[in-house]
Structure formats: C-alpha cells, structure tokens
Amino acid sequence: MSTTVETRTFYPRRGRVSQRHETALESLYPEFGVPAAPVDNRALFGRDHDVVLEIGSGMGESTLVMAQADPERDYIAVEVHPPGIGNLLALIEEHSLTNLRVHDGDGIQLLTDHVPDGALSEIRVFFPDPWPKARHHKRRIIRPGYVALMRSKLRPGGVLRCATDWVDYAEVMLEVLSADPGLRNRFAAEAPRPDWRPVTKFEQRAVDAGRRITDLCFDRIA
C-alpha cells in the first residue's frame, strides 16, 4: 500500500514544457522511466550493479555527465518538474546512455514505498529547496526522519552526500546528519567539493552572488 508523504519538500513550480520535452515525456518515459513500483535493478538496467539515487536532478545536464563518467554504477534521477524530466529523458536517448533512469515524482515517496532497505550505494541531495522562511523549515528534506529513511535505504558503507548554498541550512544539515546514530561524517566537518560534480548554472549563480557552497559526506555505519 502506498504511503502518502504529507509534508511536501519541494515547491511545485509551473514551467513551460517545450515541444522537445513534451515529446520526450510521452515517448521516452516508458523506456527510461522508473515506475511507481518496487525498484528492480535488473529490470531497469539489465544488471545488478551499485545504484546511485539523486533526489532533485533539475534539468539533468549534470546528472548525465556524472552517470557518463561512472559507467560501472547505475543512476536513478528523481525530479518533479516536467521540463527537467523531459530534458533528461531526451539527453539519455541522444547519448545512448544505459546506466541512467528517471523517476517522475517525490523522492521521499519513492524511498518510502518502492526502494528496498539497503538497496542503494549512494544518495545525493544537491541544492535542495532551502525553504528559508522559519515557518517552512518543516519542509526541508534534510531533517531527522527523512535522513533516517535515506540511511535505511543505503547498504552498509553506503554514502549520503549533500550540498547547499544557504549557510544556515548547511549548519542544520551538518547538525542533523551528525546526530543520526547510523551515519558517520567522512570529514571533520564540511567535505571538500567533489571534482566530479559539474558546476550547474544554479550553483554558478550562487557563487556569483557571493554565497558559499557547502558539501557534506556521510557514510552509513549501521
């Protein structure tokens, strides 16, 4: 039975869907999409390799680059906004990429209902909505209950990576992740920025505006 996630962690933006993206959504999602059903690695990818799940892949360009550079692992990108989903589907076809699939929906819902415990080697939450107003902090995705959920879906030794350009959210992320008894910070505090993560337009705008980027990297130990 499906479990409803009552507190939404994303803002349902309305963006224009181009004809290219609309065509990709209609014709390519049946082939490259991850259905709202138990995740089966062999059915999705034709093999049983380690799986990386990215929550919030945006327009998908950086996700494509990361998956291309890491062919020995399989990737599931989770996104809720149609233009981003359509764009990534089109990119997968254009580049004939076999180790990347896309899920149209809420990442927390997917983890709750369809990802078996211990199934993932890595979860990435890069630049989630910071929900800066205090009354909206309950919507932030990095909070104790959701972190415990993510940790449960990682195999022992699996990795949870986060990044944000909001200083106060970075402090909260570090506090929440450090408090989880089944996670261990790989570094003393912040993690160095990984060279393999492409700088997106969003991240570059944050840097240009003078906002500091914080990366965090935690391993599952229990």
Q: Give catalytic status of residue 129 as yes or no.
A: yes
How many CB atoms sit inside 10 A of residue 68's CB? Answer: 14
For 180, phi and psi rounded to 5 degrees?
Answer: -75, 125
42 contact partners, CB below 8 Å, separation of at least 6 = 48
129 within 8 A of 142, measured Cβ to Cβ: no
For 156, phi and psi rounded to 5 degrees?
Answer: -55, 130
Catalytic residue among 74, 104, 106, 129: 129
Using N-to-C axis directions, what is the helix angle for 82-94 and 61-68, rounded to 10°? 30
Tokens for 177? 């992740």
Q: Is 26 helix (H, G, I), strand (E, B) or coil?
A: helix
- The owner of tokens 């990984």 is 194
Query: Which residues are catalytic, by number?
Result: 129
